[in-house]
């Protein structure tokens, strides 16, 4: 367990930059993930872990990558559905072991129509995964209700995830984010969310989240939808692992993008 977790949360800094490319599990062929390998390959040297489904791992990744895998194992709804919370566990623990997963990720939808079902999914997954020493990352999902992302609500979600046994949690950055971290006994990482207006915004959000207690980011679209994705991931990485300020990271982005 500790060994797997330390492959993701890097021991030198205690932090992590996870690259998620699991969006297709409910969004279909998201822009820039049409050919996942083409997008991901140049970013792998700067990613501490890669988050994806077994289908894309099998069909589109090279078996030779040594980037730790965070396997997305929940799903069952699509963007066409009114209720995205109707999820189940989509991948067995045997498959996860076969895929050599370093961690498993699953969404919970607190306060949604299928709240109970998704929390029961988390409990079952933790029971199965702990037996194999595989940590579970709980994703506090809000479906289409993005306005739900306030500190009181997210603190509730993260705490419930930790109580059920998640070893780490992915949530959103929000005003008063330190309250979310304070109430959660396991490490918290933030999602990037949809493309922000500027690169500086994404770097500032990363910086603020870390200052307020996050241990890293699980940032996808703000990296791989950028026309200079390698420059962007290196800039984000400088904030996460090298203590760069948003301005310093932005200067690095400018230099690298040429």
Residues with active-site annotation: 170
CB of 94 or CB of 101, closer to ligand R5P: 101
Residue 144: CB minimum distance to ligand R5P, A? 12
Q: Which is nearer to ligand R5P, 226 or 258 (CB)?
A: 226
Q: Which is nearer to ligand R5P, 192 or 246 (CB)?
A: 192
CB of residue 21 vs ligand R5P: minimum separation in angstroms? 8
DSSP letter for each residue of 124-173: HHHHHHHTTT--EEEEE--TT-GGG--HHHHHHHHHHHHHHT-SEEEE--
Site residues, ligand R5P (CB under 6 A): 20, 22-23, 51, 139, 191-193, 218-222
d(CA 122, CA 126): 6
**Nearer of residues 64 and 209 to ligand R5P, judged by Cβ:** 209
Q: Name the minimum Å distance from CB 9 to ligand R5P.
A: 17
State how far the alpha carbon of 245 is from the alpha carbons of 15, 196, 207, 210, 238, in Å. 16, 18, 7, 11, 8
Residue with tokens 């709804």: 77
d(CA 231, CA 137): 27
DSSP assigned state of 196: P
């Amino acid at each position: 367990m500790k060994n797997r977790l330390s492959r993701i949360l890097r021991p030198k800094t205690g932090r992590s930059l996870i690259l998620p490319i699991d969006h297709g599990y409910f969004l279909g062929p998201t822009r820039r993930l049409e050919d996942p390998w083409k997008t991901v390959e140049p970013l792998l040297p700067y990613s501490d872990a890669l988050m994806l489904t077994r289908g894309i791992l099998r069909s589109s990744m090279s078996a030779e990558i040594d980037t730790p895998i965070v396997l997305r194992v929940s799903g069952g709804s699509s963007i066409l559905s009114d209720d995205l919370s109707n999820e189940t566990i989509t991948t067995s623990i045997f498959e996860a072991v076969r895929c050599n997963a370093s961690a498993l990720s699953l969404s919970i939808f607190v306060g949604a129509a299928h709240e109970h079902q998704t929390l029961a999914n988390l409990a079952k997954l933790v029971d199965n995964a702990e037996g194999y020493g595989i940590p579970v990352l709980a994703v506090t999902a809000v479906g289409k209700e993005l306005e739900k992302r306030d500190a009181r609500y997210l603190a509730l979600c993260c705490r419930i995830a930790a109580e059920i046994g998640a070893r780490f949690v992915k949530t959103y950055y929000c005003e008063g984010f330190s309250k979310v971290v304070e109430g959660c006994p396991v490490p918290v990482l933030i999602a990037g969310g949809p493309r922000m207006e500027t690169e500086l915004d994404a770097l500032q959000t990363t910086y603020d989240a870390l200052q307020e207690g996050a241990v890293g980011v699980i940032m996808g679209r703000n990296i791989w939808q950028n026309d200079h994705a390698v420059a962007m991931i290196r800039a984000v990485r400088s904030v996460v692992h090298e203590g760069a300020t948003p301005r310093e990271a932005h200067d690095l982005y400018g230099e690298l993008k040429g």
